[in-house]
Structure 1
Amino acid sequence: MAFISTAYQPQVVESGKAEKWSKNTINYANGIRNKQFVMIIPPPNVTGYLHLGHSLMATIQDVLCRRKQQLGYETIWIPGTDHAGIATQVVVEKKLLKEKKCTRHQLGRENFVKEIWAWKDEKENKINRDLKKLGCLLNWDKEYFTMDKKQSVAVTKAFIKLFEENLIERRNSLVNWSCSLQSAISDIEVDSREINGPTIISVPNHNKSVTFGRLYDISYKIKDLDEEIVVSTTRPETLLGDVAVAVNPNDPRYQKYKEHSTMLWHPFRNEHIPLIFDANVEIEFGTGAVKITPAHDKIDFEIAERHNLNTQMSVFTEEGKINSSYEEFSNLPRFEARDKILKDLSNLGLLKGMKDHKMILPMCSRSKDVVEYMLRPQWFLKCQDMAKEAIKAVEIGKIKIHPRNFENEWFKWLQNSKDWCISRQLWWGHQIPAYLAKINDRKIWVAAESEEQAFEKVNSVLTSGKENIKITRDEDVLDTWFSSSLLPFSCFDWPKESFKNFYPLDLMETGHDILFFWVARMVMLGQKLTGDIPFKNILLNGIVCDAHGRKMSKSLGNIVMPDQVINGASFEDMKLEIEKSHNSGILSSDEMKKSVSNFKKIFPKGIPECGTDALRFTLLSHNIKSHFINFDVSECHTNRLFLNKIWQATRYTLQSFEKIKIDSSFMENLKLTSLNLCNMDKWILSRLMNTKEICYQSYDNYNFHLATQAIKTFFYSNFCDTYLETTKSAVQENSSKGVSHCIVLAICLSEGFKMMSPITPFITEELSQHIPKFSFKENTLDSTFINDKLEIEVAEILNICTSIRQLNSQNNIVKKHEPKVYLFANSNEAFELLNEYKDIISTLSQISELFLFKDSDDIKKFNYVSTAGHLCSFGIKTNEIIVKSNDNSSINIKKLTRLENDLKKLMITISSEGYKRSVNETVQSKHLERIKHLELEISKIKGISS
């Protein structure tokens, strides 16, 4: 037909719609908070492209926005991107090294930052295009970037306020340190790699690979005694910074040394260190004696503090080389120093042994460097009091977490909240607004918006005159999580009072993996800086994995991009993308080879074009609250075929209208009561209304997978495969019944498109414009059309149709055999019901003729016999003898076994302890009815099989 193509073509359908939706703007004059729905999108990092995890979050949020708009809300959904300090700096450094053969230090800070801004502009534009392509109803007029001017103002104000309330302080402390980045990193950027014995790993800034997974036994000689204590360590290079050896006070091997102070000779510092006794030492580990290196180990630091030992004896420089305090090893890379230390210990007779050892190796996820714990001056935010307020907000229900099982994790993590290291030694990020003022020998830190303001603050404290003050701004930048933690209010122009027009947000939806790194910090800083919670609800989605449940990664070569699913991609296209990443320095040669090889195995023919709606539908077909979400491209393609099924059903409906030629005025003043609705019309309307209820409840409860299941069941099974088939003869005959069918077809499509449009907006908008418009003069389509009794009745009829088709299929009976079906009703009531649906059964069973009888022994003369639920048994005759693929009796025996198992399970259920107490009467009644039906069918099938 001219007005709708013969097949669903996603690219054609989607063309132009995303651009139209992207013009969604905020009506600032509204200001009615109870009719607003406010969210911000978790900002994607400007390190690359939008991945499937982003697509899942964006789709969830877009569905919620579209549903709220259906309910009359003004939706305010703010887009933005995150500067992602470390991640972006690393990827641009790789790109520079690959393309220009230079490092950031060779380029200089100013020029390097210009390179990052250029990268940011390119990637941000691509991310935004991808979000628009997904159909997101974002308010682009309020778009932010976490380092734009407004965000910078907010970050500066927040830092100053927290600093002046003594919540931010600078101190020397142990931090996760990446030597190749020369920066502190957060816990989320530390990967714990399990090493199960000797493992060779390439470490940045080392000429050769390093072996990890060994335990070394090293001897410390006891002063004035011809004895020694052997310690076990996986990190002999830190021996230079040992300040003590510790043993457990209950270890019998060392009891004799408790009576007096025991000193041990340090082989490289020419001094003695003490033997100490501490209950935290594990007796079972190695020799039971451990070296204490507080400047490079968190537990050692705590032990050293308890015993009043020196905690500041660092071994490494920021670059990961031995510092100048140890002349013999000075400036050696740490793992080269390890080899020399082991060699020297061996020469001194102090290396007592080496063995394979399982260990956890902390690695920087960004630089792939081995993380060191280093003492460095850093800025810390005190979180304990803010954490208590965040706990309280959830306890009293001001903030609700979905799913609720994350509440316990929320309480546990916040109860153990420690100070947050918020400084990073990078060139990309918000420079910390802190100034060090020096006046003679005195130093003071102040937080200020500018150097001039810093002068004024210092001068007011010290009253020494500006000419004596030397001020330097801290070169460090803030942790990316600090600026992103302000987003619920900073993106609405905080500290201006106008931010309250949109604050707090109604919902924060994001991945569960950043519940603490981002969500908890938004709550802590939101309550502290604004006096109110940042959002009312937290919805956490799972991590998107591949079809086999594996996390998507470069090394596995299983990363699928949304674009590839939407548009389709040949293997050659995918290979080209991988090679581009390698040419840009993002992937190493080994990573590129692995990716290409694994992609060849997983997608030998590439990825078929699925379209945006199929991608959205597939993502939401999973329980998004699950810990992991396994994305299968083949499932996505199946969903494209499902959408094509709806497309074809729409074509049939339009063709039916054209054949029946219903007057437009009749549609404009539609009276459902005036239509001669048959049982199947009423049934499909009941199924429609039931499905709508399930869908809208599912949207409200964030159970999107229940909505997609309901939509698929309705359109596939109920509408296309059942109801539509029953309309064909009446439409073909152009009868009055055909008129009713056409109206019902249009109603089902129109209302069905409304309920599925939040999930699949492109195809539903396209098809909706073609459906004949109607308006009800009386009666609205509501829950009064739900008819549970009729649905049960039709379900039983459809079960009969299924049983007939199955028996035909099992015996290779096809249309050319002109199958005739003889139904034998099990009761007078069954006979009346079957007689009413006789034509429907014939149509849906795809048979030549149907004959109906009351129960009779004549059934045994048929070659093909079976039961069809509790209503009837049936036999099949054909126009020729068919060579059976299966023995009919064996088919019925299998069926009998299944029915008896079902009955047994049900009997166990109703006889279980507490059944009558815990199960309501309606359900109990249904169970008894089901038992009665099963017993009847079992007796019938035994009769025809004997």
Structure 2
Amino acid sequence: MTRELPKSYEPGTFETKWYDHWESTGCFKPTGQGTPYAIMLPPPNVTGTLHMGHAFQHTLMDTLIRYHRMRGFDTLWQVGTDHAGIATEMVVNRNLALEGKGETRESLGREKFIERVWRWKEESGNTITRQMRRLGASGDWSRERFTMDQGLSRAVIETFVRLYEEGLIYRGQRLVNWDPVLQTAISDLEVVNEEENGQLWTIRYPLADGTGALEVATTRPETMLGDVAVAVHPEDARYAHLVGKTLKLPLCDREIPVIADDYVEREFGTGCVKITPAHDFNDYAIGQRHGLPLRNIFTPTATINDNAPAKYRGLDRYQARKAVLADLEAGGFLVKVEPHKLMVPRGDRTGQVIEPYLTDQWFVRMEKLAARGLELVENGAVRFVPPNWINTYRHWMENIQDWCISRQLWWGHRIPAWYDDLGKVYVGRNEEEVRRRHGLGAGHPLRQDEDVLETWFSSALWSHSTLGWPDPAEMEKYGFDRYLPTSVLVTGFDIIFFWVARMIMMTDHFTGRVPFRDVYITGLVRDKDGQKMSKSKGNVLDPIDLIDGIGVDALVAKRTTGLMQPQMAAKIEQATRKEFPDGIPAFGADALRFTFASLATHGRDIKFDLSRCEGYKAFCNKLWNAARFVLMHCEGFAAQGMPQPQTDAERWILARLAHAVREVEAQFAAYRFDLASQAMYEFTWNEFCDWFLELAKPALQGEDRTVADSTRHTLLFVLERLLCLLHPLIPFVTEEIWQSVAPQLGLTEDSISRRPYPEPRDFSADFGDAEADIEWLKAVVSSIRRIRSEMNVAPGRAVPLLLAGGVAADRERGARFAPALKFLARLASIAWLDPGDEAPPAAAAVIGELRVLIPLAGLIDVGAERARLEKEIRRVEGEIAKCNGKLGNATFVQNAPAAVVEQERQRLGEWTRQLAGLREQLQRLAAL
């Protein structure tokens, strides 16, 4: 019995229903049969929510997984989350404060605090995985992993111990990015460098022998308390005679040398650079080259420590800056102050300025690992798509530094190192192993390292730890040998080094395999104007809001929550209400997914325009209505197998379907989701909905039962194959429609996701002649429709058609397709002009050697139409004059936002094209 589709396309009524069905019936689980195809989900933070970047990449991964699953591959999409040390501690600390019980991380102590974190994770964590389901992500949730799981934790400890035993992990004192609020080292990815307005202070450093002074420019005058040298360029003739002499460091009872180093830019400032190795990464490198001492003047909270003169000790770094500047000015050392733009590093979690800080940390030696990691990419074992990203990878690997892997946190994998009272370090898988291996009895006191490993360390193991490594039984259980290497990694270019490179190095080092064969690098999702989405700009979009819709008041509340400055909140509210006066409508998951795929070019940036969602919701609605048309005209009709087409239109649509399938297959293989979605769109909208449904109507309404039934069979067959073609990209609406189509074709699967994907060989018949014939018919119909539209002929009025010229094939097709032409183009009659006959005044179109003529006498009021066209021409000319006036104004072009100027240029082009078309129509009327 046919399951009737509702009249309206309402995605919210069925999307969740079908996802629950897929998951509960095991559609997402690997089968263990066929060629393996695996993707590892880049594990999102357990504290996170689905943002536009996630939704974009997850859509692409899910499309690949569903596509290969339907093609018979043994698909595994390994999902899971990252424990996100810093972010999680911040969330739990904030929750403790909100509870108002006076409990803090420190008052609870390490053990109880970790208990609270686990409790939060069970109750409130994994929001993002629930949101992934809403998007349609078909990962195998029964295999979901968490980086703090017992198995993955074992992999982390095993990795640390082995690397230590190989001499690739060590503990040492080096500069790191230090967040003085969190009081921990952080990675470069957690540092946001932003240009800010600052100042450049020029300070006079007297020569110790009293013969003069050097002037040094700095943006951080407080760090001069830790200066150990002043550097000049070795080829700078101004200072060559001073190299080797010493300077008196202002405000400090110390002398520092003048050194020569080609790092110094002679043209910047005075050409003299103060060297503070303990507080600047570049200075640290210079200090290492010249054997300079490391003088740290900060505490972990960025206050001045005891290595500075007594009067500054205990001051916050910015208080110290004011005090130092006042004393420099009072002592005659401050030469000048200038405005200066500089890049300021801030922690992405706290917003505080990050300090390069000298501290003891654990590091991985990277030189050997990086050489191997680069080799694996250069020899093609791992392939980058697009290939230009190998240059970024190569640059990082060739300039690699040792990796700081320790963090001063409690939540995370605690470093498996123990110290005795003498400070000697012992590394092992647990304390029992350490005591046994080193002969340390119970009376020998040991304390475990307080630090934890950074989350990038555990995520670097993701591709093999999630498959059970290093436990042989777990490896067999999770299919280690079957699914590693995985097929492709889908990720952004911003973590090529932080994650992609480290996965390649670690997986190869411990398993002898690459983690993935392909790395597909996506662009970053930005707003429609190309701006980065950020809370401070108020341009953030929530993918769940786009799926389910959100009112303007709720959207404003979401965008202004947590903003500290009322003026900024008011500005964002005003902009939001202007852009979304009625809020954001519910587009549904399918429309959002189609939008993402259509934007997935091989470019660096993805400009997300909400109007694209509107367009692709209209596409889903078009598909819905087409399906309703097919089901209505095929009610009670049952068919199985491949149709045996009786009409040219049937043969044509089968040929076009085969072409679309080949195109989609080629573009998926090339990771061109944009071109694959374009091929799907054009076939669905232009060929199936706009043309085949119209071409089918005469057959369905005709008296030939054989032709009508054949057309019904082809309609159902092509619709079902089309739904399967689209399913990986828009799974929900295709499932809902397919459930109504399947019974009439005798299909017994419980879900479209278990159907085979269309393949070109499914439509192996040669229908080339039918393609050419129907393309001719389409061209003639389109030309007639264009003439009717341009000449403003009433849609319901039948018009005569004259055909002239052409070749024998045109006359044969004209006779064969006469009924279709009359039906599709609303024709009263069709006649051929003999050679030499004079054509009456008519609007014409040319198709090859064929002339298509519509006699217009008596069809329209020529005078009224001429007057209308002349009035419209004057209006358009006025709009063109306005555009030219703006674009001819240099002040407007220079001062208006670039997007506004570009919009004006586009409007000028559109008005100009309209004017040309109107004038052409007016010329045609002159012949009547």
Q: Same fold (TM over 0.5)?
A: yes
1:876–1:119 CA distance, 2 compared to 1 (3 A): farther
CA contact 1:263–1:273 (8 Å) conserved in 2: yes
2:181 aligned with 1:184: no
- Aligned equivalent of 2:446, options 459, 471, 484: 471
From 485, 492, 505, the equivalent of 2:486 is 505
1:815 touches 1:847 (CA, 8 Å); kept in 2? no
| Residue pairs, 1:446-845, within 5 angstroms | 446-459=426-439, 467=443, 469-498=444-473, 499=475, 500-501=480-481, 502-578=483-559, 581-582=561-562, 592-658=569-635, 662=637, 664=638, 667-668=639-640, 672-673=643-644, 675=645, 677-736=646-705, 737-771=707-741, 773-774=744-745, 782-845=762-825
C-alpha distance in 1, partners of 2:231/2:859?
93
Counterpart contact for 1:485–1:522, Cα < 8 Å: yes
1:254 to 216, 226, 239: 239
1:518 to partner: Cα distance = 0.6
For 2:608 and 2:230, locate their aligned partners in 1 and report how far apart those are by CA, in whole Å.
52
Which secondary structure does the structure 1 equivalent of 2:621 belong to?
Answer: helix
Q: CA-to-partner distance for each residue in 1:236-257, whole Å, 9 max, x for gaps?
A: 0101001111112322322332
Aligned letter for 2:841? K
Q: 1:254 to 1:700 in 2, by over 3 A?
A: closer
1:643 CA drift (Å): 1.2
2:8 alignment counterpart:
7
Matches of 1:791 and 1:353, distance apart in 2: 79
Q: Distance in 2 between matches of 1:594 and 1:446?
A: 57
Task: Give the structure 2 partner of residue 321 of structure 1.
Answer: 303
Q: State the distance in 2 between where 1:116 and 1:339 align.
A: 41
**Matched position secondary structure for 2:838:** helix
What does 1:272-283 align with in structure 2 at a 5 Å threshold? 272-283=255-266
On the 8 A contact 1:753/1:764 being kept in 2, the answer is yes
Deviation at 1:135, TM superposition (A): 2.3
Partners of 1:95 and 1:400 in 2: CA distance: 44
Deviation at 1:848, TM superposition (A): 4.2
CA distance in 1, matches of 2:236, 2:658: 73
Q: Distance in 1 between matches of 2:591 and 2:460?
A: 33
Deviations 1:444-481 (A, max 9, x none): 22222222322233437xxxx653x4322111111110
Partner of residue 143, structure 1:
144
Change (3 A) 1:597 1:170: farther
* Paired amino acid for 1:403: P
Superposed CA offset, 1:806-826 (max 9, x none): 222222212255433323233
TM-superposed CA distance for 1:762, in Å, is 1.5
Q: Displacement, 1:852?
A: 3.5
Within 1, Cα distance between the matches of 2:209 and 2:234? 22
Deviation at 1:624, TM superposition (A): 4.6
Number of aligned residue pairs: 854
Q: Which deviates more, 535-544 or 376-385?
A: 535-544
The runs of 5 or more residues in structure 2 that have no matched partner are: 748-758, 874-919
CA distance, structure 2, for counterparts of residue 268 and residue 757 of structure 1 = 72
Give the fraction of aligned pairs with identical amino acids, expressed as a percent.
35
**Offset of 1:122 from its aligned partner?**
4.4
Q: How much does 1:860 deviate? A: 4.8
Q: Structure 1 CA distance, aligned partners of 2:809 and 2:869? A: 32
Is the 8 Å Cα contact of residues 686 and 791 (structure 1) preserved in structure 2? yes
1:675-694 deviations in whole A, cap 9, x for unaligned? Answer: 5x221111111111111221
Using the alignment, how far apart are the partners of 2:307 and 2:589 within structure 1? 61
Distance in 2 between residues matched to 1:446 and 1:744, nearest whole Å? 74
1-structure distance, mates of 2:817, 2:651: 14
Amino acid paired to 2:675: L
How many Å separate the matches in 2 of 1:421 and 1:65? 35
Cα distance in structure 1, aligned partners of 2:534 and 2:314: 36
Structure-1 separation of matches of 2:760 and 2:406: 61
Deviations 1:396-418 (A, max 9, x none): 22222222221222222212222
- Cα gap change, 1:306/1:871 in structure 2, threshold over 3 Å: closer, same or farther? same
Partners of 2:760 and 2:177 in 1: CA distance: 64
Contact 1:154–1:490 (Cα < 8 Å) also in 2: yes
Distance 1:24 1:343, change over 3 A: farther
> CA separation in 2, counterparts of 1:393 and 1:84?
29
CA 147–29 in structure 1, closer or farther in 2 if over 3 Å, else same: closer
Indicate the SS of the match to 1:598. helix
- Residue 789 of structure 2 aligns to which amino acid in structure 1? S
Alignment of 1:208-287 (within 5 A): 213-258=198-243, 261-287=244-270
Rate the CA distance shift 1:256–1:538 in 2: closer, same or farther, 3 A.
Answer: closer
Matched with 1:873 is 852
Q: Counterparts of 1:141 and 1:867 in 2: how far apart (Å)?
A: 62
2:45 and 2:84 in contact (8 A); partners too: yes
| Structure 1 residue 523, shift from structure 2 partner | 0.8
Contact 1:544 1:631 in 2 (8 A): yes
- Which position in structure 2 is the counterpart of 1:43? 43
Instruction: Flag the 1:406–1:144 CA change in 2: closer, same or farther, 3 A.
Output: same
The RMSD of aligned alpha carbons is: 3.0
1:313 shift after superposition: 0.5
TM-aligned CA deviation for residue 353 of structure 1: 0.6
Q: Contact 1:13–1:762 at 8 Å: present in 2 too?
A: yes
Q: Which residue of 1 is the match for residue 366 of structure 2?
A: 383
Question: Is the contact between residue 825 and residue 873 of structure 1 (CA under 8 Å) also seen in structure 2?
Answer: no
**Closer/same/farther in 2, CA of residues 840 and 29 from structure 1, 3 Å limit:** closer
C-alpha contact (below 8 Å) 1:684/1:723 kept by paired residues:
yes
2:538 maps to amino acid: G
Alignment check: 8 A CA contact 1:485 1:521 kept: yes
Deviations 1:134-157 (A, max 9, x none): 222221121111112222111111
Residue pair 1:568, 1:609 contacting (<8 A) in 2 also: yes
- 1:63 and 1:166 map into 2 onto residues whose CA distance is 43
Aligned-residue offset at 1:870: 4.0
The question of whether the paired residues in 1 share the 8 Å contact of 2:278 and 2:357 is answered with yes
8 Å Cα contact 2:177-2:354 kept in structure 1: yes
- Quote the offset at 1:62 in angstroms: 1.7
Match of residue 421, structure 2, among 413, 428, 438: 438
State the secondary structure of the residue aligned to 2:262. coil
Quick one: which amino acid aligns to residue 708 of structure 2? G
Instruction: Give the superposition deviation at 1:587.
Output: 7.2
Using the size of structure 2 for normalisation, the TM-score is: 0.87
| 2:386/2:521 contact within 8 Å kept | yes
Alpha-carbon spacing, 1:117–1:558, altered in 2? closer, same or farther (3 Å): farther
* CA offsets 1:313-334 (integer angstroms, 9 cap, x no match): 0011110100123211111110
Cα shift at 1:115:
4.3
TM-score, normalised on structure 1?
0.85
Where does residue 355 of structure 2 map in the other structure? 372
1:85–1:428: 8 Å Cα contact kept in structure 2?
yes
Q: Which runs of 5+ in 1 are unaligned?
A: 200-212, 892-937
- Structure 2: distance between partners of 1:840 and 1:875: 17
